[in-house]
Structures are given as structure tokens and as C-alpha cells.
Amino acid sequence: MPSIAHLSDVHFGRHDPGAVDAILADLKELQPTLVVISGDFTQRAKRSQFRLAHAFLVEIEALGLPWLAVPGNHDVPLYDVARRFLSPLRRYRRYITPDLAPRFVAPGLAVVGINTARSLTWSDGRVSRDQIEAIAAAFGDADPEAARVLVTHHPLVELPWGEDGASLKAAGRARRALDAASVAGVEMLLAGHHHRSFTGSAATFRAANGAVLVVQAGTATSTRVRGEANSYNLIRTSPGSAEIEVRARTTEAFETVRVERHRLVDGVWAAEPRP
Ligand SMILES: [Fe+2]
Ligand SMILES: [Fe+2]
């Protein structure tokens, strides 16, 4: 069964070096099929921060693990206005990857990433009309038996948060992108940005999208945590079922703090009761 280590919001420049070492040790031990990093490689898109992020990717490669990445809003400069609007992702392209629409295929797995980081809607991100059209094409030749996974930095659904019915924002044009993902047979959306881990069916947000599972990662290594320890998701998929193991750094090492199992029943992801 293929497995994905889903990391997000590593934020080099405002990272915990101990968490970086611990996560590399964990990846070495667990040997996932693929490492996904769903954006915010840096804190302020500085060259020195991108160099640290690049070194992290080199370490992942040295473990023999393939990786797939998308940029986050923090990988676009915020205060350097000239760079923000004239060459927003130049450093990302140079130090991380020039590929802003990455794909990864392995037996049982088809993973596609799209870039939601923008200069103008810096914080919230956006999906373009072209990207929405490209979602269908990107999975067009995928093995029908493979789990189809779409990776963005900004979530494509508003996430519930707090007890007063508040929610965390989704990317611009998220609803249309989510519909396109549904039509393309995407089983799972991987994203970050809010530094909070979450898993649930998209049916909660829009009934028609019930066959899409929303998986959010917390921040893997940033010191800017929002009430949660540093964490990442270890995801195992097989047709019609998904297991999300949340591994958090509650002490020195990352360890399993939660396992969520979901099964596709009548076209809607349903959580299995926790043992
Ligand atoms: Fe972030
Ligand atoms: Fe972000």
C-alpha cells in the first residue's frame, strides 16, 4: 500500500532545528513512498531561508525518498514589494523547483500539485481558471485504480474552527477548484497554511463533493504553532479507504498521536469510529 508523508509549513527562518532533525529521523525510519511538502518553505522568502529549505530537500533525497512540493504564500516576498510583484517565485523556482505543476506517479498513486500562492491575494491565495481546467487534464491518464491526490498550499474548503461556528478561509475560487477535483475523481486534497491538522469529507462543506477527503497538515517544524505541537501526516491509501496517522512532536521525537480511518461509503467518505 503506498504511503505519503504529508508535511507542510516548514517555515525555515522561523523553524525549530530539533524538529527538522527529528522529522528526518522519522522519515528515515518510516520510508514513505513519497514526501509531500505543501508550501511555506520559508518565513520571509529570503535567500538564506531558501538555502536551508534546499538543504532539507537534499537530506530527504539522501534518504532515497522522492518529494513533491508546492509553494506557499510565505515563499512569495511580502515586504519586498518590487520582488513580490515582479518576480514572486524566482527564489522558489531556483532553490526548490522550477516545476509549479508537479506530478508523481507510483503503483496505486497519482499525485498532482498546483500553485495557489499569489502576489496580490498574498495571504489567502487563489486558483486560476487555467489551473481549474488543468486539474482534469492532470489526472486524465492516471491509472483508474490509483488514488488521486491533489496538493495545494491553501485549502480548497473553509475549515471549521472554534465553537462559535467560525471557519478558516479557503483559497480564492476554491469551490470551483473543488468541483473540478471531484469531477477528476480526486480522492484526497492535501493542504496546510492554517497550521492546524484536520481530516474530514468535503461533503461537510458541499454535499456534492463527498467523495473528496480533505486532509490538512499542521506545521511540521515552525515555532509558530497554534495550540498544536509540530506535526505531519502519514497517509496510507487503498481504493475506497484512507488512513491518516498524525505524527506529532510531543517530546523530542515525532510519534503517533492519532490515527483516523475513513472509508468511502456510497460515494461519501465516512470516518470509522476510533478504537
Ligand atoms: Fe504557514
Ligand atoms: Fe501559508
Which residues hold their Cβ within 5 A of ligand 2, which is an ion? 40, 72-73, 193
Q: What is the pTM (predicted TM-score) of this model?
A: 0.97
Round the CA-based radius of gyration of the chain to a whole number and report it.
17
Q: Report CA(122)–ligand 1 centroid distance (Å).
A: 12
Q: What is the pLDDT of residues 74-119, one digit of tens each?
A: 999 998 888 998 899 999 999 999 999 999 999 999 999 999 999 9
Q: Report CA(153)–ligand 2 centroid distance (Å).
A: 7
Q: What is the pLDDT of residues 39-53, one digit of tens each?
A: 999 999 999 999 999
Q: C-alpha distances in angstroms, 101 versus 112, 169, 221?
A: 7, 23, 24
Quote the percentage of the chain above a pLDDT of 90.
83
Mind listing the domains of the chain with CATH numbers? 3-271 (3.60.21.10)
Q: Report CA(3)–ligand 2 centroid distance (Å).
A: 24
What φ, ψ does residue 273 adopt, rounded to 5°? -60, 140
Q: Report CA(266)–ligand 1 centroid distance (Å).
A: 35
d(CA 99, CA 112): 11
Model pLDDT, residue 275: 66
User: What confidence category does residue 267 fall into, taking pLDDT thresholds of 50, 70 and 90?
Assistant: very high
Q: Look up residue 249 and give its three cell numbers.
A: 512532536
Q: Report CA(233)–ligand 2 centroid distance (Å).
A: 17
d(CA 96, CA 230): 22
d(CA 127, CA 173): 6
Q: Report CA(274)–ligand 2 centroid distance (Å).
A: 30
d(CA 270, CA 261): 8
Average pLDDT over residues 220-246: 94
Q: Report CA(254)–ligand 2 centroid distance (Å).
A: 22
Q: What is the pLDDT of residues 150-192, one digit of tens each?
A: 999 999 999 887 777 778 999 999 999 999 999 999 999 999 9
